[in-house]
């Protein structure tokens, strides 16, 4: 630590602030929550007073330091922005003003984005279980010590960090835009094929039956499917005692899969190599792709296209939009424009390049995500 930094107890820096407001039945209240990992405040709900059980809410003003007692150990700390000013929190969110002669609120917020600080918070928290019901009380927070440089140095550091953060954000935006552009290119290859023929899915895929018998003592690596065309992912490992399904389906690379309940939101995809061997419940129909008719890359590209999700939604059944289910028979009856074999070959070559780009982009994303924690660690050691 730099020699001109000194440890200061937070009770010298933060002033508890309670702006209690009696809840009026006819008034509207924008109620805030705090993202984990020090990602800031967000509007959790906008409710009429008559819908709110609490007698009082607490008004937040720009510049307040706010945290969630229950999830301090998860990094639920924030500095209220201009947009948060005038909104409200429950009594689980203590608010403080920051003494401007001692600390820059941005400096404190960045300090509380460090995983090492969350560990300290967990050790200070108390509750009924080791984690999920632990609360960080105000006196425990205010008893913590923070190493602070002079206020001018804090502001200099925050200016430097914010400039670096902006550049990292810009790089992330460019990365996402590049991926969106190549996905658009792949979709255009399919949509521009004048020889495409309307073909029912039953001619292109075969429904697989569940092939895994569940044993209570065994562990199973589950997979899931993201909504909005974001593909298949590895989920949790569960023992057979943790779920009620007696049979599961083991995924194979190149299979097509979707969850019955969320297909209408774009949760349809081809299984990638990294999910080979994972299992899904019977709520996930799994299909073998008939590659003599269609390449898996064609299906993966087509069903990630947002414009076709409403068509899938039309084939789904259910009394509530959130409870729509796409049954396998309805999916097999769905007709897609099947590109010519020449177009499919062309798409497969492009997708091979695209998949290589995605792997590179994933590695880049990991490096970008690691940059800011590294910068903050250096900053709070006094090395910036």
C-alpha dihedral sign at 136, 138, 139, 142: positive
Nearest to 197 by CA among 310, 271, 298: 298
Residue 123: C-alpha distances to residues 12, 44, 127, 135, 143 (Å): 22, 28, 11, 10, 13
Q: Determine the structural domain holding residue 89 and report its residue range.
A: 6-148
Instruction: State the average pLDDT over residues 126-132.
Output: 60
Mind giving me the DSSP string for 285-300?
-EEEE-TTT--HHHHH
Which alpha helices (H) appear in the chain, and where do they start and end?
Answer: 105-111, 115-124, 138-142, 151-191, 296-302, 309-315, 328-333, 341-379
Q: Say whether both 207 and 309 belong to one domain.
A: yes
Q: How far apart are CA 287 and CA 291, in angstroms?
A: 12
Least confident of 76-85, 86-95, 309-318: 309-318
**CA geometry: angle at 336 spanning 322 and 208, to 5°?**
70
**Would residue 333 count as lying in a domain?**
yes
Q: Say whether both 329 and 384 belong to one domain.
A: no
CATH of the domain at 316: 3.90.220.20
- Pick the more confident residue, 379 or 174: 174
Q: In this structure, are residues 43 and 31 in contact, taking their beta carbons and an 8 Å threshold? A: yes
Residues in CB range of 339: below 8 A, 6 or more apart? 189, 190, 193, 195, 196, 298, 347
β-pairing, 219-225 vs 6-9, is unpaired
Taking phi over 0 as left and psi of -120 to 50 as alpha, with beta for the rest, 277 belongs to left
Tell me the pTM: 0.58
For 134-180, the pLDDT digits (tens) are 889 999 999 999 989 899 988 988 888 888 878 877 777 777 777 77
Q: Say whether both 131 and 222 belong to one domain.
A: no
Q: How far apart are CA 372 and CA 361, in angstroms?
A: 18
**Would residue 272 count as lying in a domain?**
yes
**pLDDT grade for 6, boundaries at 50, 70 and 90:** confident
Instruction: State the average pLDDT over residues 106-130.
Output: 85
Q: Say whether both 187 and 223 belong to one domain.
A: no
Domain count, the chain: 3
Residue 367 has pLDDT above 80, yes or no: no
Instruction: State the average pLDDT over residues 299-313.
Output: 90
Q: Say whether both 205 and 330 belong to one domain.
A: yes
Least confident of 147-156, 296-305, 306-315: 306-315
Instruction: State the average pLDDT over residues 105-128.
Output: 88
Residues in CB range of 121: below 8 A, 6 or more apart? 72, 73, 136, 141, 144
Q: How far apart are CA 126 and CA 116, in angstroms?
A: 18
207-243 b/e with 16+ CB inside 10 Å = b? ebebeeebeeeeebebbbbeeebebbeeeeeeebeee
Q: Say whether both 98 and 166 belong to one domain.
A: no
Helix (H) or strand (E) holding 198: strand 197-200
Q: Say whether both 295 and 358 belong to one domain.
A: no
**Would residue 26 count as lying in a domain?**
yes
For 203-246, the pLDDT digits (tens) are 999 999 999 999 999 999 999 999 999 899 999 999 999 999 99
Q: How far apart are CA 303 and CA 307, in angstroms?
A: 9
Residue 98 has pLDDT above 60, yes or no: yes
Residues in CB range of 42: below 8 A, 6 or more apart? 32, 33, 34, 35
Residue 190 has pLDDT above 70, yes or no: yes
In the chain, % of residues over pLDDT 90 = 69
Looking at residue 279, what is its pLDDT? 97
Q: Say whether both 173 and 292 belong to one domain.
A: no
Q: Say whether both 201 and 191 belong to one domain.
A: no
Looking at residue 358, what is its pLDDT? 67
**pLDDT grade for 311, boundaries at 50, 70 and 90:** confident
The mean of the pLDDT values for the chain is 88
Looking at residue 18, what is its pLDDT? 94
Q: How far apart are CA 315 and CA 324, in angstroms?
A: 9
Least confident of 11-25, 102-116, 150-164, 258-272: 150-164
Looking at residue 331, what is its pLDDT? 95
**Would residue 1 count as lying in a domain?**
no
Helix (H) or strand (E) holding 89: strand 88-89
Q: In this structure, are residues 86 and 59 in contact, taking their beta carbons and an 8 Å threshold? A: yes
Looking at residue 324, what is its pLDDT? 77
56: Cα separation from own chain's centroid: 31
**pLDDT grade for 355, boundaries at 50, 70 and 90:** confident
């Amino acid at each position: 630590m730099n020699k001109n930094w000194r440890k200061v107890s937070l009770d010298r820096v933060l002033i508890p602030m309670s702006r209690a407001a009696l809840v009026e039945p006819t008034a509207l209240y924008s109620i805030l929550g705090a993202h984990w990992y020090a990602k800031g405040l967000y509007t959790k709900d906008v409710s009429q007073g008559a819908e709110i059980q609490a007698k009082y809410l607490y008004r937040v003003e720009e510049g307040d330091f706010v945290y969630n007692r229950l999830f301090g150990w998860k990094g639920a700390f924030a500095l209220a922005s201009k947009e948060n000013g005038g909104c409200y929190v429950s009594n689980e969110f203590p608010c403080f003003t920051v003494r401007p002669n001692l600390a820059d609120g941005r400096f404190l917020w960045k300090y509380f984005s460090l995983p090492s600080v969350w560990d300290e918070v967990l050790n200070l928290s108390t509750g009924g279980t080791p984690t999920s019901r632990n609360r960080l009380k105000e006196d425990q927070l205010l008893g913590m010590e923070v190493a602070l440089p002079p206020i001018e140095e804090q502001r200099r550091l925050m200016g430097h960090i914010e400039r670096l953060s902006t550049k990292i954000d810009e790089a992330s935006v460019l990365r996402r835009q590049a991926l969106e552009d190549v996905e658009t290119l792949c979709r255009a290859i399919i949509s521009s094929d004048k020889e495409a023929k309307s073909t029912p899915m039953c001619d292109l895929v075969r429904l697989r039956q569940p092939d895994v018998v569940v044993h209570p003592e065994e562990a199973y690596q589950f997979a899931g499917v993201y909504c909005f065309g974001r593909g298949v992912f590895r989920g949790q490992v569960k023992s057979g005692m943790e779920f009620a399904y007696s049979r599961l389906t083991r995924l194979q690379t190149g299979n097509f899969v979707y969850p019955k309940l969320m297909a209408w939101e774009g949760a349809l995809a081809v299984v990638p190599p990294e999910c080979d061997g994972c299992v899904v419940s019977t709520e996930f129909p799994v299909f073998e792709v008939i590659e003599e008719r269609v390449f898996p890359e064609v299906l993966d590209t087509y069903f990630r296209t947002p414009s076709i999700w409403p068509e899938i939604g039309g084939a789904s059944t259910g009394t509530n939009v959130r409870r729509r289910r796409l049954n396998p028979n309805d999916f097999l009856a769905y007709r897609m424009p099947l590109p010519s074999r020449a177009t499919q070959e062309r798409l497969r070559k492009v997708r091979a390049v695209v998949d290589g780009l995605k792997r590179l982009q994933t590695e880049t994303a990991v490096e970008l995500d690691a940059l800011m924690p590294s910068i903050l660690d250096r900053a709070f050691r006094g090395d910036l």
